[in-house]
A and B are shown apart, each in its own frame.
Chain A
Amino acid sequence: MLILDVMGRVLPEYSKTHLRIPFHLDEDCRRLRLKFEYTPKELEDRKRSLELLQQSFDAYLLPEQREPAMSQADRYLPLKNLITLSLDDPNGYRGACHRHDSVQELTLSAEQASPGLMAGPLPAGAWQATLSVHCIVTDSCDYKLQIWTEKEREVQ
């Protein structure tokens, strides 16, 4: 059963913030399925990419490193958006999926979990998905999170 279906748009200003998305789980849930996606993944505008890189070189590199770094700017391209998902059950943390895939289909049950998540009982009550917006380099980025629950007889 689809229990959560949210979408939204984040802007570069949302970088370095967490979006908390609460949802409720009933007693009879035996497995959770999640689909998390966001788009676009990459910044295609080369001029804008180089501007952003120049800003970060100015912030993070010693003055004498900046020019050599800029001459190798392609090492860092394309610049990417990064949003990661982590999950909390009513008792605490259930892991995170910190990777660059912009489409992730995840499952969680007592016996099995997608990499990054921790298998274990699925207690009923208030759960929370956290979307950590690490970095948005495009003008905007659309995300979508869907969560399905499966009862005993639906779980293979």
Chain B
Amino acid sequence: MKWLACELHTHTLHSDGSQTLEELAAGAVKLGFDAMALTDHNTMSGLAGKDVIASQFGLLILPGMEWTTFHGHMVTIGLSEYVDWRSADRSQIDEGIQEVHRLGGLAGLAHPFRIGSPACTGCFWEYEIQDWSVVDYIEVWSETFASIRTNNRRAYALWTDRLNEGLRISATSGRDWHAQKETGDPLSVTYLGIPEGELTTEEQLVNALREGRASVTMGPLLLLTVSLDGQSYGLGSMIQSSPQAQTKDQGELQADITIDFSVRPGLWSLPEQKFKLILCSDRGQELDAEVVWNGERSDDKWLRLSGLPLSSEPRKWLRAELWGTVRKVNTLIAFTNPIYFD
């Protein structure tokens, strides 16, 4: 799997950003991103000429638009045509999302718990979703130093609640990036996975997000695979219970966790410390382990915990979380999207 560093929520002069697409692309490349989505408010006019800028900077630019409505903001990506955001009634957002799907795009709740009007008009999600299975993703980490924000913790809890209900919804970060301003805050990155042998295209990135091949971090890339009966399953996979699953012949379920410190070298930093790795699911915390990291002095490009035994009790989903100290705060540093169980 090739993991691409993505920034999935950005704005330009075409809405209320104070940067051109070119300035935004230059900034994204400087910060080590491989891809970004342009999600201007209610317009796709900023995408004109994007292919030239994409090839100039060696950056994939996904088309998108942030529905900036009265009852919520919704990021849509991967569609080339406009869908009318103005007709969305508070109880009929499902239809808008389905229209996005018809045009090949994905829809995600943007910063669903950010304070709404009048401070930030429509920023708090107030749509009544009739069928959550239409929702593709939730932007659970918004802005910089995302994990310490209460609003993001609420979004993360909302996502977990939906997973517990058996839904398959991806989770992302998005800076909601409006201007080229320096920040000392940790940035979030959503890594999207493209299978080996596939071309690195916009379409493949959209597929990755749709299928949950996604991992979100403020530093190293966190990956999880589960093996069963000699088969290995990555993020977003669905592990089907085999016909033998009911019998004692069921194979042993094991998890492998990789922390890749080599990503975006020099563009993030964490102090030396003992990380806490957690595997959690709808059954709660299933496993935890301490991992020593020597910070910048470390030669470790990556660290792997292999063959972690998992209980054979049924579960709906499983994800990994990396906890530790960032700017003297103990917080969530990274989390994977889930592996699902049928």
A, B from the same assembly: yes
Residues 1-53 (chain B) with a chain A CB within 8 angstroms: 12-16, 40-46, 48
The CA of A128 and the CA of B118, in the complex, are separated in Å by 27
Pairwise interchain contact A84-B42, C-beta atoms closer than 8 A: yes
Q: A76 at interface (Cβ–Cβ under 8 A)?
A: yes
Q: A148 at interface (Cβ–Cβ under 8 A)?
A: no
> Given the known A-B contacts A96-B42, A98-B15, A118-B45, are A79 and B119 also in contact in the complex, defined by CB atoms under 8 Å?
yes
Q: B115 at interface (Cβ–Cβ under 8 A)?
A: yes
> Given the known A-B contacts A84-B42, A96-B42, are A115 and B121 also in contact in the complex, defined by CB atoms under 8 Å?
no
The CA of A18 and the CA of B89, in the complex, are separated in Å by 12
Q: B152 at interface (Cβ–Cβ under 8 A)?
A: no
Among A62, A84, A117, A135, point to the contact of B154 (Cβ < 8 A). A62
The CA of A52 and the CA of B14, in the complex, are separated in Å by 30
Please name all residues of chain B whose beta carbon is closer than 8 Å to the beta carbon of A97 when the two chains form the complex: 15, 43
Q: B177 at interface (Cβ–Cβ under 8 A)?
A: no
* Most A CB within 10 A of own CB, among B16, B115, B119, B124: B119
Please name all residues of chain B whose beta carbon is closer than 8 Å to the beta carbon of A52 when the two chains form the complex: 118
The CA of A92 and the CA of B86, in the complex, are separated in Å by 13
Pairwise interchain contact B86-A98, C-beta atoms closer than 8 A: no
Which residue on A lies nearest to B46, using beta carbons? A115
Please name all residues of chain B whose beta carbon is closer than 8 Å to the beta carbon of A57 when the two chains form the complex: 115
Pairwise interchain contact B122-A134, C-beta atoms closer than 8 A: yes
Among A16, A56, A61, A98, point to the contact of B42 (Cβ < 8 A). A98
- Tally of A interface residues using CB under 8 Å: 38
Chain A 131-146 against B: per-residue CB contact (8 Å), 1 yes, 0 no?
0101101000000000
Q: B127 at interface (Cβ–Cβ under 8 A)?
A: no
Q: A80 at interface (Cβ–Cβ under 8 A)?
A: yes
Please name all residues of chain A whose beta carbon is closer than 8 Å to the beta carbon of B115 when the two chains form the complex: 56-57, 60-61, 69, 76
> Given the known A-B contacts A96-B41, A98-B68, A132-B86, are A56 and B150 also in contact in the complex, defined by CB atoms under 8 Å?
no
> Given the known A-B contacts A60-B113, A86-B42, A115-B46, are A99 and B118 also in contact in the complex, defined by CB atoms under 8 Å?
no
Pairwise interchain contact A95-B118, C-beta atoms closer than 8 A: no
Chain B 100-121 against A: per-residue CB contact (8 Å), 1 yes, 0 no?
0000000000000101111101
Which residue on B lies nearest to A12, using beta carbons? B118
Q: A40 at interface (Cβ–Cβ under 8 A)?
A: no
Please name all residues of chain A whose beta carbon is closer than 8 Å to the beta carbon of B40 when the two chains form the complex: 98, 116
Minimum CB–CB distance from A61 to chain B (whole Å) comes to 6
The CA of A73 and the CA of B83, in the complex, are separated in Å by 36
Q: A15 at interface (Cβ–Cβ under 8 A)?
A: yes
Pairwise interchain contact A16-B84, C-beta atoms closer than 8 A: no
Minimum CB–CB distance from B88 to chain A (whole Å) comes to 11
Show 13 A/B contacts (Cβ-Cβ < 8 Å), sorted by A: A60-B113, A60-B116, A95-B43, A97-B15, A98-B15, A98-B42, A98-B43, A115-B12, A115-B14, A115-B45, A116-B43, A117-B45, A135-B121
